[in-house]
Amino acid sequence: MGGLVMKVWGFLEKAWNLAVAEPRKVIHCAKVGLALSIVSLFYYIRPLYDNFGGNAMWAVMTVVVVFEYTVGATLSKCINRAAGTLLAGALGVGIYWVADQSGDELKPIVLGVSVFFFASAATFSRFIPLVKARFDYGAMIFILTFSLVSVSGYRMVELLKLAQDRLSTIAIGASLCILVTMLFCPIWAGCELHRLIHQNMEKLVDSLDGCVAHYFKDSGNLTISEENLNKKIQGYKCVLNSKATEESMCNFARWEPTHGRFNFGHPWKQYLKIGASLRRCAYCIETLNSCVGSEIEAPPCIRKHLSDKCLKVGSYSTNVLKELAITILNMKKSSKIELIVAEMNFAVQELRDALKSLPSHLLAPPSSTGEESTEGRSVPIKKADVLPPIMKALPLITVVSLLEEIAARIGG
């Protein structure tokens, strides 16, 4: 019993923390409550009820099913629902008419076969990637409406009246949702996507910074605690898993009208490309991180020889990322970006040169066997610090070129 109370308490505490961390989610909940309360008026106000009767239920249903977190998602669901209902309603009435003409004996067979055929076809269309991404909900509503219309048509004569009532209540519910979601603290999928990309960039900066600092921590350039550092380094993990979120946000963002700095034809697909580049950087950082975490230590002399250059490459790389993050935030082409990229490439070149000079530098001490083992053990440090910056430069440059394209398109 006590355990159960503790569990419930823990659950409530978690929920409270979530609410404090993201107040906009609480606002969304209040908006859902508001929309439902308004739609309830249909039942409380007698004239409205008399008009629509039991069909007013469909307005409540529409609000519950269609109201989503972002404006784009709500719009997309509304349009899907309306289109699916219209299409299936028209088709259902048509099929019903055909069945009516074919006589009482054939009627149930025609209706049954058509339900089977259209339901199967619509279900199959939901497996096609393009349909799944944008019209999944519409296809489901199509199946639902078509079955209801063609099946209930068997009994009811006022099929057209019913279809009309249902359409108008759905329209009322959908427009109420759109009004509430756009008027009270709207949450735009486009803004969310924009912010997500920007946050991911900053997380990568932190991770890269933290990784390099962690490896060279005895160089005396560490100012934050171990725990904080670890937390910073783990940031890249969010970036690894944000693909699905980015894609759905991008899909929703397309439905949204002009808002704030985003126009209707905003190049949302570019965000996906940037996201993919960021993920490629994150893969590199994941590899770098496991190198840094390995227990094989490089000898101090090599470490010292390379640490300055490595730190330099790291800090120039993060500079580029930071500048890109600012570019994204301001949606203006940065004037400095080319300079910073050149600086980074120069630092990478310096590091390469340092590596080339490494063997001869190490050959100086006379002890031959000691030198050999040093050489051998220097491999891990080369891996750990040289490899990823060079490779990171590649996706970074991709990002730069993409961003320049975006910046050019947006209004830089």
Least distance in angstroms from the C-beta of 153 to a copy of itself? 9
Q: Which is nearer to a copy of itself, 287 or 315 (CB)?
A: 287
DSSP for residue 383: I
Least distance in angstroms from the C-beta of 306 to a copy of itself? 12
Q: Where are the alpha helices (DSSP H) in 126-235?
A: 129-152, 159-183, 189-215, 226-233
Distance CA 6, CA 356 (A): 62
Amino acid (one-letter) located at 60: V
**Among 282, 325, 310, which Cα is nearest to 389's?**
310
Q: Which is nearer to a copy of itself, 343 or 375 (CB)?
A: 375
The tokens of 72 are what?
């784009």
Least distance in angstroms from the C-beta of 362 to a copy of itself? 9
Least distance in angstroms from the C-beta of 193 to a copy of itself? 18
Least distance in angstroms from the C-beta of 259 to a copy of itself? 23
Distance CA 203, CA 282 (A): 10
Q: Which is nearer to a copy of itself, 43 or 86 (CB)?
A: 43
Q: Please enumerate in sequence order all residues whose Cβ is within 8 A of that of 109, keeping only pairs 6 or more positions apart, or say none.
A: none
Q: Which is nearer to a copy of itself, 399 or 407 (CB)?
A: 399
Q: Which is nearer to a copy of itself, 347 or 407 (CB)?
A: 347
Using left for φ > 0, alpha for ψ between -120 and 50, and beta otherwise, residue 224 falls in beta
Q: Which is nearer to a copy of itself, 19 or 408 (CB)?
A: 19
Distance CA 156, CA 173 (A): 25
CA pseudo-torsion sign 397, 401, 406, 411:
positive
Least distance in angstroms from the C-beta of 282 to a copy of itself? 9
Long-range contact set of residues 335-339: C-beta below 8 Å, sequence gap at least 24: 337/400, 337/403, 337/404
